[in-house]
Amino acid sequence: MAEKKEKFTGSDTEGGITSSYEMNDGVVLKVPYSFFGSIYDDDERGMALAAMEQDTLTMGPQVAAFQKEFAAMCGVKHAFAVSNCTTAMHVATQVFDIKPGDEVIVTPNTFIATSLVVLNEGGVPVFADIDPRTFNIDHAEIAKKVTPKTKAIYVVHYGGQMCDMDPIMEIARKHNLYVMEDCAHTPGADYKGRKAGTIGDIGCFSFHSLKNMSTCGEGGMITTNREEFLDPIDKLRCMNVDAWKDQTDYWIPSHFDVVDVNGHWGNNYRMNEIQAAANELVIATEQELKQVTEGVDLAHVTGESIDQILDMVEQTTSSAKEIYVATKQQRSATEQVVRAMKEVATVAQQTAAGSKQVAGSAEMLAGIARDSSQIGEAFKLVE
């Protein structure tokens, strides 16, 4: 009988694929999930504890402050905290009134969540292929997929690098389509001076543990500049509740109606106060990360010249550097590069999550990654 391998978390827990990997399996280098200990320091623990002492433990002052701060960071008028990015995108799908048979053009290079929310409403995800240089949805492919049934375009700014949004918005305007930006990988990234989540009709963010910003493991945010979406988002996030506005006497039980939004029934997708409180400082460390990783330009390795790709991308966007991608066909030729990138990504991930001590190491690894002659040789092999 095979010896049972030790697992720290995962299949032995509720976590499943979201919180585990096997130990002692011979793989030396892994991007750690949490084996460097807690990502939170005393400041954040203090804020979480203070929130626990509040009378209101959900949708209170911490959530309100976080929403305000996040909206300011993105340069967007409105931000709504929710339980995760999937629920954020589900709300967006309902706000866009996606109904059975409606088509939504989606990138195939994403986590299942981006398509799942379309299926949830009976819609049909239609995949438009990606640009192999950036891994983002290709606007020329989107144009080919538009039909009379198309209602929306769902883009993902993959790995932190934003999609080429101008031509995408042009297609959307021409055909009267909604645009949802899945910003799970991109808090803080920008495209031609505009932040992720502010260009399409709605932006959706993830604060899951694996992301650049986290709110105690789970969390999400909806951003929008469209005033007509505020009321629908508010209702769909909280069980279609329409509170009586003229009720001022505090001793009378609160009254509300329950109303649908274009025939859609929402859910409980709220964020709690401890999550929101812990995040406020993580925003600061996320900004630190941007400085620390400035110059870690190994974000994408593809079959083309690294310089060409970075030139093309950097003219228009500034990446949130969430994922460092290496394509399979180069794996053997670029083992050194991939190894260095993994190390940078590992350290950057910790930094993003709030571990300030590793900031210096990230910078150092970035330097090694850029300067190493071995890596330079490997790049030549790729080219």
Ligand X SMILES: Cc1ncc(COP(=O)(O)O)c(C=O)c1O
Residue 84 binding ligand X, by CB under 6 A = yes
List all residues 6 or more positions away from 316 whose beta carbon is below 8 Å from its beta carbon: 162, 164, 191, 192
Residue 182 binding ligand X, by CB under 6 A = yes
User: How many whole angstroms separate alpha carbon 99 and alpha carbon 291?
Assistant: 43
Please report how close the Cβ of residue 108 comes to ligand X at its closest, in angstroms: 12
Please report how close the Cβ of residue 46 comes to ligand X at its closest, in angstroms: 26
Nearer to ligand X, 78 or 208 (CB): 208
- What are 3's two structure tokens? 């010896």
Nearer to ligand X, 233 or 337 (CB): 233
Coil, helix or strand for 12?
Answer: coil
Measuring CA to CA, which residue among 232, 230, 256, 259 is closest to residue 244? 256
Please report how close the Cβ of residue 209 comes to ligand X at its closest, in angstroms: 9
List all residues 6 or more positions away from 148 whose beta carbon is below 8 Å from its beta carbon: none
Q: In the stretch 200-229, what mask flags binding to ligand X with x, by CB under 6 A?
A: ------x-x-----------x---------
Residues in the chain: 383
Nearer to ligand X, 317 or 334 (CB): 317
User: How many whole angstroms separate alpha carbon 174 and alpha carbon 202?
Assistant: 18
Q: Applying CB under 6 A, what is the total number of residues that bind ligand X?
A: 14
Residue 113 binding ligand X, by CB under 6 A = yes
Nearer to ligand X, 85 or 92 (CB): 85
Which residue is it, tokens 């670029």?
Answer: 334
Please report how close the Cβ of residue 89 comes to ligand X at its closest, in angstroms: 7
Please report how close the Cβ of residue 214 comes to ligand X at its closest, in angstroms: 10
Nearer to ligand X, 215 or 330 (CB): 215
Region of 155 please: left (phi>0), alpha (psi -120 to 50) or beta. beta
Residue 352 binding ligand X, by CB under 6 A = no
Q: Which stretch binds ligand X (CB under 6 A): 7-15, 38-46, 107-115, 128-136?
A: 107-115
Extended beta strands in the chain, E state = 78-82, 103-106, 124-127, 150-156, 178-182, 190-191, 194-195, 202-206, 220-224, 241-243, 256-258, 300-301, 317-318, 325-326
Q: What is the CA 305 to chain-centroid distance, rounded? A: 27
Extended beta strands in 197-354, E state = 202-206, 220-224, 241-243, 256-258, 300-301, 317-318, 325-326
Residue 326 binding ligand X, by CB under 6 A = no
Residue 184 binding ligand X, by CB under 6 A = yes
Residue 128 binding ligand X, by CB under 6 A = no
Residue 114 binding ligand X, by CB under 6 A = yes
Q: DSSP class of residue 224?
A: E
Q: Which stretch binds ligand X (CB under 6 A): 39-47, 80-88, 162-170, 261-269?
A: 80-88
Please report how close the Cβ of residue 332 comes to ligand X at its closest, in angstroms: 27
Among 142, 156, 162, 366, binds ligand X (CB under 6 A): 156
Among 66, 67, 76, 86, binds ligand X (CB under 6 A): 86
Which residue is it, tokens 């350290």?
Answer: 347
Q: Where are the alpha helices (DSSP H) in 3-60?
A: 42-52
Q: Which stretch binds ligand X (CB under 6 A): 62-70, 129-137, 161-169, 177-185?
A: 177-185
How many other β-carbons are positioned within 10 Å of the β-carbon of residue 262? 11
Residue 110 binding ligand X, by CB under 6 A = yes
Residue 118 binding ligand X, by CB under 6 A = no
Residues that bind ligand X (CB under 6 A): 84-86, 110-111, 113-114, 156, 182, 184-185, 206, 208, 220
